[in-house]
Amino acid sequence: MNVELQPIAQKVHTGQRLDAADARALFASEDIWAIGRLADTVRRRMHGDTTYYNVNRHFNYSNVCALSCKFCDFYRKRNEAGAYEFSTDDARDQARRAREAGATELHVVGGLHPYLPFSYYTDMLRAIKDEYPQLHVKAFTAVEVVHLARIDKRPNDLEGVLRDLQDAGLGSLPGGGAEVFDDRCHDEAYKGKIRSDKWLEVHDAAHRLGLMSNATILYGHIESVDDRINHLLMLRDAQDRAIDNGWPGRFQTVIPLPFIPGESALKHLPGPTGLGDLKMLAICRLVLDNFDHVKTFWIMQTLELSQLALQFGVDDIDGTVVWYDITKVKRDGSTHQETTAGELRRTIVEAGFAPVERDTLYRRVERDGPAWRVVETEPAGAV
């Protein structure tokens, strides 16, 4: 191990919290294998060789968006070719398909549609839960929640909006829309979107209401290393806030998302490399000591790199997915992006880990074909 990493290794082995200078040294180091081993130490301390996966489906209800973020290859303006919006009946149909496939979770996000009323979203949630009550609906990024509060003319009542969504069937919040918590990046690449303070305000409100949530960081575009570090430290502070206040909700997992240029306005940028992805995942595991899980979203990192990432601090691979419109990995632009539970298990076993199917709240799932049940009442967190 290079000498600059030795004080960090000492902290990791004695369970001390890393600071910004440690994170900077990790990013500066080229000793990727030593960084991986440190992250693996923490991951095994928390989870042993357990690796989680889930059987889920994604539903992107509309790509119509009032904003035009530069990294985004998903949005369309309302009358533009390719713009779509699904109906409540379409949402019900998604729930029926999820039931037939035995999915435990529906992940629902979309653009910031300028014309749909608040009732569209609550009707959608009710239709899904009516069709398949056992299904967990993880829906609406913090950016969408703020948008819904605005269209319902109560921009300062985030808790009220979340409570209404919860009453209609919302089970938890995804972690999207965070991008990088930095005003320069915000103003250059996603101006018009909420800033970090608002994103964190939504998640604080959700945690106070008992909603679990996730967190992301979109990296490998115009941000600096210090921007990444600040972002992680702000997430860690927010998690401390939830824990110290005894709020019933908290962040469950961090999902680092590599920027994929696609046909976005930032397509001239190369995006991160495989080693860059592994380093980022490992540093997330090391810095976010109060997060139970680090997850790869294989649509972004690929399943092959996700398998390797299990040695770099990752303990969770999401998921069977099926349809995903936001990032198209295939050259033909297809949004059918699916893997099977069997393939996820094979990926995990071959890497030397023990696959465990989980539900959205990290409870173990026992399955007989499409029929499933939760076999633990408490979330399967750190061992």
As a whole number of angstroms, the distance between CA 39 and CA 45 comes to 10
Closer by beta carbon to ligand SF4, 67 or else 341? 67
Please state the φ and ψ torsions of residue 307, each to the nearest 5 degrees.
-65, -45
Distances (CA, A) of 155 to 198, 315, 327: 11, 37, 29
Distances (CA, A) of 229 to 179, 180, 234, 270, 329: 13, 10, 9, 21, 28
As a whole number of angstroms, the distance between CA 261 and CA 271 comes to 6
Closer by beta carbon to ligand SF4, 60 or else 306? 60
Closer by beta carbon to ligand SF4, 55 or else 326? 326
3-state secondary structure of 340: coil
Please state the φ and ψ torsions of residue 187, each to the nearest 5 degrees.
-70, -30
Closer by beta carbon to ligand SF4, 72 or else 234? 72
Q: Is 67 in the site for ligand SF4 (CB under 6 A)?
A: yes
Sequence-separated (6 or more) residues with CB below 8 Å from residue 349? 355
Closer by beta carbon to ligand SF4, 64 or else 161? 64
Q: Is 75 in the site for ligand SF4 (CB under 6 A)?
A: yes
Instruction: Please identify which residue in 52, 53, 74, 199 interacts with ligand SF4, judged by CB under 6 A.
Output: 74
Minimal distance, residue 60 CB to ligand SF4, in Å: 9
Sequence-separated (6 or more) residues with CB below 8 Å from residue 273? none
* Site of tokens 């297809």: 334
Report how many residues bind ligand SF4 under the rule CB under 6 A.
Answer: 12
Q: Is 65 in the site for ligand SF4 (CB under 6 A)?
A: yes
Instruction: Please identify which residue in 69, 128, 165, 308 interacts with ligand SF4, judged by CB under 6 A.
Output: 69
Minimal distance, residue 177 CB to ligand SF4, in Å: 7
Minimal distance, residue 116 CB to ligand SF4, in Å: 14
| Helices assigned H by DSSP within the chain | 6-13, 20-28, 32-47, 88-101, 118-131, 142-151, 158-168, 183-189, 196-209, 225-244, 274-287, 298-301, 303-309, 341-350
Look at residues 210, 212, 198 and name the one whose alpha carbon lies nearest to residue 146: 198
Minimal distance, residue 188 CB to ligand SF4, in Å: 13
Instruction: Please identify which residue in 112, 168, 266, 321 interacts with ligand SF4, judged by CB under 6 A.
Output: 112
Q: Is 72 in the site for ligand SF4 (CB under 6 A)?
A: yes
As a whole number of angstroms, the distance between CA 54 and CA 308 comes to 18
Binding to ligand SF4 by CB under 6 A, coded x per residue (else -) over 9-48, reads ----------------------------------------
Segment near ligand SF4 (CB under 6 A); pick from 5-13, 71-79, 225-233, 251-259: 71-79
Residues that bind ligand SF4 (CB under 6 A): 65, 67-69, 72, 74-75, 111-112, 143, 190, 193
